[in-house]
Amino acid sequence: MAKLFEEYTIKDVTFKNRIVMAPMCMYSSHNQDGQVEDWHRVHYSTRAVGQVGLIILEASAVLPQGRISAQDLGIWSDDHTSGLTELVNSMKLHGSKTGIQLAHAGRKATVDGDTFGPSPLAFNYHYKTPIEMTKADITETIEAFKLSAIRAKKAGFDVIELHGAHGYLINEFLSPLTNKRTDDYGGSVENRYRLLRETIDAVRSVWEGPLFVRISAHDYSEGGMTPEAYVTMTKWMKEQDVDLIDVSSGANVPAAIDSYPGYQVKFSETIKHQTPIATGAVGMITSPLQAEEILKNDRADMILLARELLRDPYWAYRAAKELQIEIKSPVQYERGWV
């Protein structure tokens, strides 16, 4: 049996295979209100028909000022819940489990108004200099993650992922390159982790299901975070009942990245074995044999596909054929004229 198509269970949620659609911003809430629109309805349900085991929705903002763009999905209001519920139901209809990535863009927000971050450091000259968050701002943000988790539960999602990667707010607090604070939320490793610690605790107070955290395991810059440095934090995440680390890298500070097929898998392997904790591998994974190698060699527990699932929503069928596995198709595919 190909490991890619083995079931995988976290808590009481069983995924029919190890194929995950990674969260990717679609910039398609054109009314700038964070609502689900027709694009989302087609985009996500198509991947469910394509037999993806877990589909994680794009970064969904827990506060309006925390959007990456004005066209991002939102979950900061109860008004968003009905559209998200509709998406969940459409994906579950085809056997996919559903996840949502809760996010705050921090200093990389591009919406009108002020941006916020741990320290008043702009990402580059294209971005605004953020306002250094007060403790009241931090408390408000943690509460926003908690309320968004309640909405995610109400909408019926199976998985919540906290976006702690790619230079967005949580990532900014974790890295010494972007966190220059001198209070309880900056300086030492324990202090830089504090925002994420309190966010995980807040979310776990209302969410019993699988909880993932996406990290940027490498800053690719001197003095920044590395996979080995993250192990201390991922051990804390495990103690806080985080179930899986979604291991990405980069984008916290401008840096040259030597990317190549599977270039982040070694980071997943480090986190998985040195913590130890379940991990998801992501980044230029395109072929079924490549995915199978990662799983069979115990380098990750789940395979997150991003652009490859944009190019081919039915990648799972191609993978099954290549790995000589029979998978169940939607009943509509099996019906014929009689």
- pLDDT value at 334 more than 90: no
- What pLDDT, on a 0 to 100 scale, did the predictor assign at position 337? 53
299 domain residue, yes or no: yes
5 domain residue, yes or no: no
Number of C-beta neighbours around residue 297 at 10 A? 11
- pLDDT value at 240 more than 70: yes
- What pLDDT, on a 0 to 100 scale, did the predictor assign at position 315? 98
- What pLDDT, on a 0 to 100 scale, did the predictor assign at position 52? 98
Q: Which tens digit of pLDDT belongs to each residue from 84-124?
A: 999 999 999 999 999 999 999 999 999 999 999 999 999 99
- pLDDT value at 1 more than 90: no
Q: Which tens digit of pLDDT belongs to each residue from 192-214?
A: 999 999 999 999 999 999 999 99
- What pLDDT, on a 0 to 100 scale, did the predictor assign at position 335? 66
Q: Which tens digit of pLDDT belongs to each residue from 123-153?
A: 999 999 999 999 999 999 999 999 999 999 9
1 domain residue, yes or no: no
Q: Average pLDDT over the chain, rounded to whole?
A: 97
- What pLDDT, on a 0 to 100 scale, did the predictor assign at position 332? 77
- What pLDDT, on a 0 to 100 scale, did the predictor assign at position 336? 59
3 domain residue, yes or no: no
Average pLDDT, integer, range 324-329: 88
2 domain residue, yes or no: no
Q: How confident is the model at residue 328 (pLDDT cuts 50, 70, 90)?
A: confident
Average pLDDT, integer, range 210-231: 98
78 domain residue, yes or no: yes
Q: Domain limits at 168?
A: 12-334
The total number of structural domains in the chain stands at 1
Which CATH number characterizes residue 150's domain?
3.20.20.70
Q: Is the pTM of this model over 0.75?
A: yes
Q: Which tens digit of pLDDT belongs to each residue from 55-74?
A: 999 999 999 999 999 999 99
Q: Which tens digit of pLDDT belongs to each residue from 164-194?
A: 999 999 999 999 999 999 999 999 999 999 9
- What pLDDT, on a 0 to 100 scale, did the predictor assign at position 60? 98
Q: How confident is the model at residue 269 (pLDDT cuts 50, 70, 90)?
A: very high
162 domain residue, yes or no: yes
102 domain residue, yes or no: yes
Average pLDDT, integer, range 286-313: 98
